Amino acid sequence: MDFHVTDKGYYGTFGGAYIPEILYANVERLRETYLHIIGEESFRKEFRALLRDYAGRPSPLYFAARLSQKYGARIYLKREDLNHTGSHKINNTIGQILLARRMGKTRIIAETGAGQHGVAAATVCALMNMPCVVYMGATDIARQALNVRKIEMLGAEVRPVSSGNKTLKDATNEAIRDWCCNPADTHYIIGSTVGPHPYPDMVARFQSIISEEIRVQLMEREGRDYPDYLIACVGGGSNAAGTFYHYLNDLRVQMIAVEAAGRGIDTTESAATIHLGREGIIHGSRTLVMQTKDGQIIEPYSISAGLDYPGIGPMHAWLAAAKRLEVLAATDDEALHAAFELTAIEGIIPALESAHALAALAMKTFRPDDVVVLTISGRGDKDMETYAAHFRISRDMSKNK
């Protein structure tokens, strides 16, 4: 079985492009040209140069000795937290801004949840001298003040969104509405492997630099270019797609995605879309959606603003349905514990999103010689207030050492 996208934009029964008529020509042009543009030698050169000199790639593959000892496996961390702007999001925004320029677009819009994609989009717009509007839910604006200030300092405009529960889904709705009004001059930089085809595939390709580097780095360190396990958190699915990409069809590699369970998948406060969702259409794509019996979207909840999305990339919905992907869910508490643990024993403060991936280590049993690569999708700076409110957990942990 091939787990990549089909020509028509499907992953099994998931994917496609369910868009309003007014966007048809735009999305169709993107679909017709994206593979050609990103395959061009001049594009590849410019993309690679910016990833290296501007974003700071390759990101290190760090052998975490104390974490390995604790969980009884050979655990490597793929350090996307060390990229410029603090997460994997920059890989995708560099790719998309180069594409937008080649398509003659003069204005950029983006949505953001935790603000990491907003910062990454505003950053490349400053770099390329393009005007940028970032849609952000009012709830997220309140809880991610640092990133809002950064986006503004970078010269982009933050437009607050007050519909729904004022988070990522609602910001995405507004960005799509803007795009419908400005289809000719505007490129919409979607921040994850979601949205109508070709976005999920395009974003996965830009993020696939992660698994491309893992292959080379593992070869140097372990003498083989594949791990036994890959672990990544999933919101919309882009850091996971990048981590898995070159291993999708390599069945020696077990892939694990970790969703945000929020207060638990058996509560009404969760964002575990693959566990709880049913097939439906959201933001232009057929995928799993958290919805009521009559198709109303259920507002997602997670302590992490980057993971509380009621949909999931169509690639991940398909990988899970086809049993290629194991899907776990970590609660707020499990993620917090994992974040404090990594900080205490490795000196790395991870993003709350990444902490969900770390929480999976305690849920699995490994053999001592298993090679595990876990992607740290971002750094914890933006989450310091949340962490500070839970320092008690960290104090209790050191008492029990």
Ligand X SMILES: *Cc1c(COP(=O)(O)O)cnc(C)c1O
Binding site for ligand X (CB under 6 A): 87, 89, 114, 116-117, 192, 233-240, 306-307, 351, 353-354, 377-378
Instruction: Tell me whether residue 64 or residue 234 sits nearer to ligand X (CB atom).
Output: 234
Over its C-alpha atoms, the chain yields an Rg (Å, rounded) of: 20
C-beta separation of 378 from 88 below 8 A:
yes
Instruction: Tell me whether residue 335 or residue 370 sits nearer to ligand X (CB atom).
Output: 335
Active-site residue, from 150, 166, 377, 382 = 377
For this structure, is 377 an active site residue? yes
Looking from the CA of 68 toward its CB, the CA atoms found within 13 Å total 15
* CB of 75 vs ligand X, minimal distance in Å: 18
Determine whether 54 is exposed, middle or buried from the number of CB atoms within 10 Å of its CB (0-12, 13-18, 19+). Answer: middle
- The rounded distance, in Å, linking the Cα atoms of 192 and 232 is 14
* CB of 136 vs ligand X, minimal distance in Å: 13
Q: For residue 136, give the amino acid letter.
A: M
* CB of 231 vs ligand X, minimal distance in Å: 13
Q: Cα–Cα–Cα angle for 208, 211, 213, nearest 5°? A: 105
Neighbour-count burial for 298-317, b at 16+ CB within 10 Å, e otherwise = bbbbbbbbbbbbbbbbbbbb
Instruction: Tell me whether residue 137 or residue 306 sits nearer to ligand X (CB atom).
Output: 306
Residue nearest to ligand X (CB): 378
Active-site residue, from 78, 89, 150, 166 = 89
Task: Determine phi and psi for 266, rounding to 5 degrees.
Answer: -95, 10
Active-site residue, from 80, 111, 259, 346 = 111
- The rounded distance, in Å, linking the Cα atoms of 133 and 151 is 10
For this structure, is 211 an active site residue? no
For this structure, is 150 an active site residue? no
Instruction: Tell me whether residue 74 or residue 121 sits nearer to ligand X (CB atom).
Output: 121
Residue written as token pair 């770390």: 358
Instruction: Tell me whether residue 23 or residue 258 sits nearer to ligand X (CB atom).
Output: 258
Q: Which two tokens stand for residue 197?
A: 């085809």
Closest CA to 244 of 220, 261, 227: 227
* CB of 24 vs ligand X, minimal distance in Å: 26
- The rounded distance, in Å, linking the Cα atoms of 319 and 36 is 26
* CB of 114 vs ligand X, minimal distance in Å: 5
Which residues form the catalytic set? 89, 111, 377
